[in-house]
Structure 1
Amino acid sequence: MTDPIVIEAWVEFAVRWLHVITAIAWIGSSFYFIALDLGLRKADDMPDLASGEEWQVHGGGFYHITKYMVAPARLPEHLVWFKWESYATWLSGFALLILVYYLGAELYLIDPNVLDIPVWAGVVISLASLTLGWLAYDRICKSKFGDDNTRLMILLFGILVLMSWGYTQVFSGRAALLHLGAFTATIMSANVFMIIIPNQKIVVDDLKAGRTPDAKYGKIAKQRSTHNNYLTLPVLFLMLSNHYPLAFASQYNWLIAALVFLMGVTIRHFFNTMHQKKGMLWWTWGLTAALFGVIVYLSTLGIPDTAQDATAARDPHAERFASADGFMDVFDIVQANCAMCHAREVFWPGLAWAPKGVVLETEADVASQARAIFLQAGASHAMPPGTANYMQPEDRAAIVAWFRGAN
Structure 2
Amino acid sequence: MYDYAIVWEWLSFAVRWLHVITAIAWIGSSFYFIALDLGLVKRDHLPEGAYGEEWQVHGGGFYHIQKYLVAPAEMPEHLTWFKWESYATWLSGFALLCIVYYGGADLFLIDRQVLDVSAPAAIALSLASLALGWVLYDLLCKSPIGKNTWGLMVLLYAVLVAMAWGYTQLFTGRAAFLHLGAFTATIMSANVFFIIIPNQKIVVADLIAGRTPDPKYGAIAKQRSLHNNYLTLPVIFFMLSNHYPLAFATEFNWIIAALVFLMGVTIRHWFNTTHARKGRPTWTWLATAILFVLIIWLSTAPKMLTGETAEATPPAIFQKFAANGHFPAAKDVVLSRCSMCHAAEPVWEGLLFAPKDVRLEDDAAIAAHAREIYLQAGRSHAMPPGNVTGMTAEERRLIAAWFESTVAEGS
TM-score by length of 2: 0.94
Conserved 8 A contact 1:309-1:359: no
1:242 match: 242
Query: Residue deviations 1:311-357, cap 9 Å, x none?
Result: 9xx87522222221322221222222212211222111111121111
Q: Do residues 289 (structure 1) and 289 (structure 2) align?
A: yes
1:340-382 Cα distance to aligned partner (Å, 9 max, x none) = 2112221111111211111222333322221111010011110
1:81-136 alpha-carbon deviations (Å, 9 max, x no partner): 00000000000111111111122111111112111122222222211111121111
Map Cα deviations across residues 262-286 of structure 1 (whole Å, 9 max, x no partner): 0000000000000000000000000
Cα distance per residue 1:54-105 (max 9 Å; x no partner): 0000010000000000111121111000000000000011111111112211
Alignment partners' CA distance in 2, 1:326 and 1:305: 41
Distance in 1, Cα, partners of 2:245 & 2:235: 17
Q: By how many angstroms is 1:389 displaced? A: 4.7
Which residue is equivalent to 1:80? Answer: 80
Q: Tell me, yes or no, if structure 1 residue 262 matches structure 2 residue 258.
A: no
Report how far residue 303 of structure 1 moved. Answer: 4.5
CA distance in 2, matches of 1:234, 1:330: 40
**Residue 89 (str. 1) matches residue 118 (str. 2):** no
| Alignment-derived partner of residue 43 in structure 2 | 43
Indicate if the aligned counterparts of 2:107 and 2:368 stay in contact, CA closer than 8 A.
no
Range moving further from structure 2, 188-197 or 127-136: 127-136
Distance in 1 of aligned mates of 2:207 and 2:53:
22
Counterpart for residue 195 of structure 2: 195
**8 Å contact from structure 2 (residues 231, 264) kept in 1:** yes
Question: Secondary structure in 2 aligned to 1:317?
Answer: helix
Higher relative contact order (CA 8 A, sep 6+): 2
Give the Cα–Cα distance (whole angstroms) in 1 for the partners of residues 346 and 307 of structure 2: 13
Moved over 6 A (4+): 304-311
Q: Deviation string for 1:214-251 (max 9, x for gaps)?
A: 11111111110110010000001111112211111111
* Aligned partners of 1:188 and 1:228 also within 8 Å: yes
Structure 1 CA distance, aligned partners of 2:357 and 2:310? Answer: 8
Contact 1:70-1:213 within 8 A present in 2 as well: yes
SS in 1 for 2:81: coil
Specify the alignment match of 2:299 in structure 1.
Answer: 299
Q: Which amino acid aligns with 1:324?
A: N
Once the two structures are overlaid, the 10-residue window that deviates more, 162-171 or 208-217, is: 162-171
Matched residue type, 2:198 = P
Could you tell me how far apart the structure 2 residues matched to 1:18 and 1:366 are?
31
Task: Say if 1:55 and 1:157 are closer, same or farther in 2 by CA, change over 3 A.
Answer: same
Report if the CA contact (8 A) 1:309-1:358 is conserved.
no
Q: Name the CA distance, whole Å, in 2 between partners of 1:337 and 1:306.
A: 32
Whichever residue aligns with residue 266 of structure 1, its letter is T
Aligned residue runs from structure 1 range 338-349, under 5 A: 338-349=338-349
Name whichever of 57-66 and 44-53 sits farther off. Answer: 44-53
Which shifted more, 216-225 or 135-144?
135-144
Whether contact under 8 Å (1:107, 1:316) holds in the other structure is: no
Specify whether residues 84 and 316 from structure 1 end up closer, same or farther in structure 2 by C-alpha distance, changes over 3 A only.
Answer: farther
What's the RMSD between the two structures over aligned residues?
2.0
Conservation of the 8 A alpha-carbon contact between 1:105 and 1:119: yes
Aligned pairs, number = 405
Gaps of 5+ in 2: none
- Does the 8 Å CA contact 1:315/1:370 hold for their aligned counterparts? no
TM-score for both structures, normalised by structure 1? 0.95
Q: Which residue in the other structure is 1:53 paired with? A: 53
> What CA distance in whole angstroms lies between the structure 2 residues aligned with 1:389 and 1:203?
65
Corresponding position of 1:67:
67
Measured after TM superposition, the shift of residue 307 of structure 1 is 10
Structure 1 residues 156 and 344: CA distance shift in structure 2, 3 A: same
Contact 2:381/2:387, CA 8 A, preserved across alignment? no
AA aligned to 1:164 is A
Cα contact 1:107–1:315 (8 A) shared by 2: no
Alignment pair present for 1:105 and 2:105: yes
